[in-house]
Every structure is written in structure tokens, then in C-alpha cells.
Structure 1
Amino acid sequence: MTTPSTEVRPLPAEIFSRSVAGAERPPRPGPLFAVRTFAWRNLIKLRYVQDHLGTAVVFPIILTLVFTYLLGGAIAGSPREYLQFFLPGVIVLSLVSSSMMSALTLNRDIATGMFDRVRSTPIWQPAVLVGAMAGDAVRYALTSIVPLSLGLLLGFRPDGGLSGVVLALLYLQLFTFSVAWLWMLFAVLIPQPTAAAGVVNLLQFVLLFGSNILAPSQTMPGWLEAVVKLNPVTHAATATRGLMHGTVTSGEMGAGLLTCAVLIVLLAPPTIWLYSRKQR
């Protein structure tokens, strides 16, 4: 009886060379392919990560019901009257809250080493950021439609008609993409997930409740009204209300679009630069 040998012999170099001699190197993935891949990765989280789905569906419903019936009578005289003012604002509020989810996920992935392997891959590195936010478009659409549908059932009537509502939802996609760069900046700037979540939630609270979402800015003290008018969320809420009710002016729409452009120009380059530095 002989014991079979367990020694692993290396493959001769000439055999290995012949086996790969005719093989072609796979093409390097382009930026669009990389963005699409990370966007799809972000989309499938809606199925497996309950936090993302809950933020997109449950949170807007709770906000719409609580604020309409809690504050409606005190601010506008009746919940139905207040709903005409508040519903466009609650969509903005829900989208801004939803826009921070991908940033916090990215921060957690960086902290746990998930993206360490990306450093060695020949892809366009900013695709991780751009793809994550592009994949959020479906979640943003869901977050917009849920409170809008509920509002229509409760008595919301947009005077701007279907076209005004569609234009408002398209504008909000652009605004949410723009403000998401702010959360991404903190996600790559702060290494600890807990600290990043605390800063993002605090800043989100200031932006949302320091705006004209819950009440008209004209009813506020002069100093507070001036501060509220500097808030980018205020311009987004004003443009959205104007589009849905058919009362938007060129100045309001221009301010809303300018807000998106300023956010992208000021926040996207430093965020991409900081993320690229982390990848070295």
C-alpha cells in the first residue's frame, strides 16, 4: 500500500504562458458603467434594508398626518386649509430627511473597510458617490408620491394641475440630489459613524425647522424671516408650492434653480476631493 502524495506541484511557466497568451484583457469600465453599478447596489437596499424603505414610506405618512391635524387648526383655521400650504412643504421635508440615508451608509462602509477594495479597482472613483445618489432617484420618487397620494385623499387640491405637480416633483429630484452633497461631505469628512450621524441629524433639524415648511415666513419676526430666507430649503419649498398651485413667479423659480446650482458647485468638488484622498 502506498500513500497518495498530497504535494501540490506548481504549473510550469510555459504552460501558463500558452494558456493566457491568446486571452484579451477585459476593457476598463467607463464612468457610466461604474455609476450604474453603484446605483444598482443602492437600489437593491430598498428590498433588504428596512431603514431605507421605512424612511421612504412610513416617515412621510406620519409627518403628513401629525402636522396636518396637530398644527392645521392653529395656523390656518382648519386642517384642510393648512394642508394646501403644508403638503408641498412636507414633501420637501421628507425628501431632505431621506437624502441623508446614502451618506450615512457610505460613512459606515468607509469606517468598516467596505470600500478598501475599491482603491485597487480601475474605476472612476467618484462613481461611488455619484452612483449612490443616482440610485436614490427611485427612493426619492417613492418618498414624493406617498405623501402626495395621502394629501389628495385628505383634501389637497393643487391648482397648478397635473403639469404643475409633475414639474414640482422633477424639480425636487434636482434639489434633493443637490442637498445630498452636503450630507456626503460630512460622510467623508467625519470618520466615526456615530459622530457623522449626530452632525447630519443636527444640521438637518436646523435646515428643516428653520424654513417656511411649517409656517409662512411672513408671520415670523423680522430677524427670523431674514434668516429663513437664506435657507436653501425655504427656496425649494417656495418653488414647489408655486409649481403645484400655479402661482410660481420667475424670481421664485430662478431662486430655486440657483439654490441647486450653488449647492452642487460648492459641495460636490470638495466632497469628491476628500473621498479621493481617502482612497489613496
Structure 2
Amino acid sequence: MKLVVLVKHVPDETVDRPLTDGVFADDLTVDREALTCRLGEPDEYAVEQAMRIARRRMDVQICVVTMGPPGAARALVRALALGADEAVHVVDDALHGSDAQATSLVLAAAVRRIGFDLVLCGTASTDSGMSVVPAMVAERLGVPVACEADAVWAGEDEVVVRRDAGPTTDDIALTLPAVVSVTERVGEPRYPAYRSVVEARGKVVRTWSLADLRIRPDEVGLGASATVVRSVTPYAGQGPALIVRGDARDAAERLASYLSEHQLI
């Protein structure tokens, strides 16, 4: 069974940096080389899910795929340390500024060239959070997709996912090949051992260009993107905290009054 995991090299959200501090280029794209970046946390859950499938059967090969600038190779090394067998890095100057639509075109072409039974990915990236790339990739590949899976079971000819839908729980069966995006509830990623980190440096990382995927430069990048960033505004953040003092009953009444006044309950 060939598992392909889509991953992304994203800015580290734990590093606080002002938007004006060289974060954005003149075209309002994120200058990732100027930021501290890492393998996206949702993607670590996808790699972990691939590893859990591999532990239950003997015929699994895991390939991780990313597209991005040269620095994105660091995300692949991390994924390899988590247990993936090999990696593919799609890097090309023409990719600069690609939106979700252009990204899905490139990733689908890479997955098609690799060959796959099951594509796994995080539900959303931590930088844009659009949650649309998994479904777009599946559409381009012409295979079924299940998004926001909380549990995954892979069989010989099908994959079954469980999704918490609030008052109900849905079990969905998809015929392979298929695409599945997973939530953080599929299982906490294991921290890689030092030996795994060292071995990751010796694993195969193939580098492909757009020409390798038979994609024209005018099909990707800012010019081909369906969305445009026109302005950037800093997130206002949280307001001052409300501290309620007094005995338990009085504090509860004041808190309930505040929540009701602000239409929070």
C-alpha cells in the first residue's frame, strides 16, 4: 500500500513577530525565509496516522510531499524523522504566490506521478487555514474524499473514517484510492527518537520542478491565482480580562449578568 502524506512548511505560530518586521514582501506574500518555520502541526497528525496504518500491515510505504521554497525541505526532514520512508519536494520560482487552487494543481500532479492508494493530510494549514486543498486535490485526482476524520481504518480495498458530527458520529467508507484529511483527534504524534532524527538525513528526498510535473509556469503563481491579498491588518488580539471577585454566589451572579449583557449566553 502506497501512502502519500501532504505536508507544509509554515511559520512557527509560537514565535511572536510584528507584521511590519520584514514578514511580507512587496506583493504581500509571506517571506518565509525571513521567518522561523516548521512542519505544520496538523501535518504531524497526518504523518502519525500514516505510521499507525503502517504498524498494522507489512506492505506500507509512506512518501511525504511538499511544495515551497528551498527552506521547505526542513519540513520534509522532520516528517522523515517521524517515520516516513521517502519525500518529494516540488520547488520552482514560478510557484511564488500560488493560492489554494494553484497549490492543489501542483500537489495532485505530484501525487499522480508518485502513485498512491491513500492520500493523507491535515485538515487545514496553520498559516492560511482554508481547509480546501484536500478536497481540491481529490477532485483533480478523480477520487473520493473524506475531510475532518477523527479516526481512520485502512483495509485492502477501502478506508473507513469516523467523524464526530456533534450529536451524531458518522462512519464513512471510501473505496481506494482516496484522500482523507485528519483532525488532531486521530492520535497524538510521537516525538522522534534521536536515532530516527539521524536516520532521516539519509533518506531519499527527490526534488521536482514544474517541468517534471508537466505544468506550465503560467498555470501557477500570483498570476494564475484566483485570490488576491489586497491588504494586511494585525490581529487585534484579546481584550483585557474580566476579573470577578467576591463570594461564590455573588461572583456567579455577576459573571452570568456580564455574559448575558454581551449576548454570550
Does the pair score TM above 0.5?
A: no
Q: TM-score, normalized by length of structure 2? A: 0.30
Structure with the largest fraction of strand: 2
Q: TM-score, normalized by length of structure 1? A: 0.29
Structure with the largest fraction of helix: 1
| Structure with the greater alpha carbon radius of gyration | 1
